[in-house]
A and B are shown apart, each in its own frame.
Chain A
Amino acid sequence: MRVGVLFSGGKDSCLALQKARSFHDVVCLITLLSESQESYMFHVPNIEVTGKQAEAIGLPLVQRRTKGKKEKELEDLKKATRTAKADFGLQGIVTGAVKSIYQSTRVQEICRKLDLWCFNPLWLKDEIELLNEVVKNKYEVVISGVFAFPLDEKFLGRRLDNEIIEKLERLRDEYGLSPAGEGGEIETTVTDAPFFKKRVEIRDYHVSYRNYSGVFKIKDARLIDK
């Protein structure tokens, strides 16, 4: 089946892409560039880097801008998906949804309307298991956003590894934090993975942080050989 992956450049959409490749022909990535910091649907920090990531993976990218307003962004997603279906002959869509009923419901609805299969290979996956799978698969993942107590500035720009997973697990037990950031507490950017043909090298960045909310903004990146 020819499928497209809803792609934010974070760990979830990358892991979903990797799983989809085992069973289907992934022919494109689809990204919504949200102008809103409070998008209900779409990952925001470093979303512009998806162009570089798609190039590193070697897949075409269908991008569409959205204001990120609650229901309007769904219309924009539908339009982007319809374009991808027409241009790449898609039969199905793959998402990295893990826990969000809101996200999953909206994408399922769009797929139903466009007569597309919908796959959510990470659906309800245990969050620690998910993080471990990412590290075990040797992904290079940068924490690019923190948006919850008690996540401090030190998390920003840190690479996801076993030490960070243990720390997040402790914060889950102590504060009820979602360790994989499924409530929007943490955002990530993937700079390398087994299916990347090139690595994304971060050349310049800017960190902003205030009151348990911060972003590691990639200002300049380039692709390098692996």
Chain B
Amino acid sequence: MILIVNVCSDRLSYFEFVKPVEDILKKANIDVVSRNFLSLEDTNIKKAERVIICGTALKDFKYLNNLDRFAWVNETHAPILGICAGMQILAGLSGCDIIETSRIGRYKVRIVQKNILSSKREFYSYFLNSKAVEPNEDFETLGESGNLKCMIRHKRRELYGCLFHPEALNQEIITNFSQQSTEVM
């Protein structure tokens, strides 16, 4: 079962940032359970084989002001994919700097390190960001877009981040993550 963590503080944003990810997984016949980060229970996390933390609206920063509600990230062994806000959460919990940026629209991503999320060398992705991440030494960069580190992976754990929204133009990233067997680190 894949646990989808909804970080949207506004319920209308669910349809834009969470439902598309649910739909991709359901279409691939993958079991999905979705929960808002404020109502997550221990059992949801314990039952999850993998976790996807979705993005949210440009003006929504409730997740960043409540990073303590994501302490479970450091306790679970389940691989986690953080999308946009989700990547900021994973990086923020590891002490990376969250930086201001403005990137909205379709931009090219260049893969700089082989990874399980995408076998392509470059592709276009949909970005919707007012913040980005400056990865620290705990993370390696998998993909770049201009000067942004837009795909990252933790060096010792299966924590992946995509700053862009793969649900829009790169759905294979979501299915690749969800259908992988756990990597040996």
Contacts and interface: CB of A to CB of B under 8 A. Distances in A.
B122 interface: no
Given A101-B168, A109-B104, A19 B58 contact: no
Interface stretch (B9-17, B78-86, B153-161): B9-17
Given A101-B169, A111-B58, A121-B16, A23 B11 contact: yes
Contacts, number: 63
Interface residues of B, number: 23
A120 B165 CA distance: 14
Nearest to B20: A124
Nearest to A99: B168
Given A101-B106, A105-B104, A117 B59 contact: yes
Nearest to B13: A119
Nearest to B127: A105
Interface of A: 1, 19-20, 22-24, 94, 101, 105, 108-109, 111-112, 115-126
The 9 closest A-B pairs by CB, nearest first: A124-B20, A105-B105, A121-B15, A123-B16, A23-B12, A120-B16, A119-B12, A108-B104, A117-B59
17 contacts: A20-B12, A24-B12, A101-B105, A101-B106, A101-B126, A101-B168, A101-B169, A109-B105, A112-B104, A116-B59, A118-B57, A119-B13, A120-B15, A122-B15, A123-B15, A125-B20, A126-B23
Interface of B: 10-13, 15-16, 19-20, 23, 57-60, 102, 104-106, 126, 128, 130, 167-169
